[in-house]
Amino acid sequence: MSVIILGIESSCDDTSAAVISDGLLLSNVIASQKVHEEYGGVVPELASRAHQQNIVPVVDTAIRRAGIDKHDITAIAFTRGPGLLGSLLVGTSFAKGLAIGLGIPTVDVNHLHGHVLSHFIRQAKDDEVPEFPYLCLLISGGNSQLILVRGPRDMEVLGQTIDDAAGEAFDKCAKVMGLPYPGGPHIDRLAAEGDPMRFKFSRPRIPGLDYSFSGLKTSFLYTLRDNIKLDPDFVEKNRTDLAASLQHTIIAILLDKLDKAVKATGVKTIAIGGGVSANSGVRNAVADYCNKHGLKAFIPQRAFTTDNAAMVAIAGYFKYLDGEFCPLDATPYARVTI
């Protein structure tokens, strides 16, 4: 009998539900929240309310698109953390209630594990998935980590940011340039038209495999401040070159540590995940690096880079196979690492 997992994701501002059957994706539905755009960032209370409005129709749509009945579901996987507590509470409570009604178990998923294991989402039976061990560069708005993945349940963080994450650097620098939220995609679009060598920004000198992006962000802000004093239209005139130089610097920081991790571990397979892995420059740079050094690269489809329930379902699938279920009194958590 097939193992059918319903995945539910509600960690931030996207409500998502997905269905997988023996690891094969049957549906993945995402409802994004536009209400936050005018505030320049996610407003937790508004996010929680939107999840309450979206979760029932999103789950219903995912089940219908999968072509199954709710009674066919084997277990429900849900994001327990990290994330916004109010948002997580909506998904956690709904998953528990539905599981009780159907008489099936729940599986709690670490949101970060979902990103790391997103490469195991198969849309066709012959889709290629990574072999263990592999290195995962997890890069998003809240996390920048280098993870050695020995198995679905065996992960070791080799390095992580000690301050801002790569996604924060993109979004915060975009904001001071007057770009809409979220700023990362706008930086990516503008960078394609600019000169990446036009401006020089500070790069961190952090030992080991840890990351830091706060110095880069400060250097970027000082560059704008000093030049705007001379020319109030500086940003408007140099927007594409600023974006290209910023993106180039962030990518260089990411790849420097990735290269050190490859040499330290000898791992031959590289994967990237998280929202920043949707960035065109990052995707191309990692692919080029792996091609140059004879490494296998796994670059996720953009649909699986942002917060989505397909990655929650696949992570939950592995936990289900190990028989690790979630008690009904489990509560969500805001912060956690791999």
pLDDT tens digits, 251-282: 999 999 999 999 999 999 999 999 999 999 99
Residues in Cβ contact with 221 at an 8 Å cutoff, skipping those fewer than 6 apart: 173, 176
| Side-chain half-sphere exposure of 301, counting CA atoms within 13 A | 14
Encoded tokens for 157: 């963080």
Calpha distance 73→69 (Å, rounded): 7
> Under a CB-based contact definition with an 8 Å cutoff, are residues 237 and 289 in contact?
no
Residue 298 and residue 134 in contact, taking contact as beta carbons nearer than 8 Å: yes
Across the range 313-318, mean pLDDT stands at 98
Is the pTM here over 0.95, yes or no? no
**Mean local confidence (pLDDT), 70-98:** 97
Choose between 118 and 37: higher pLDDT. 118
DSSP three-state, residue 284: helix
DSSP annotation of 319: H
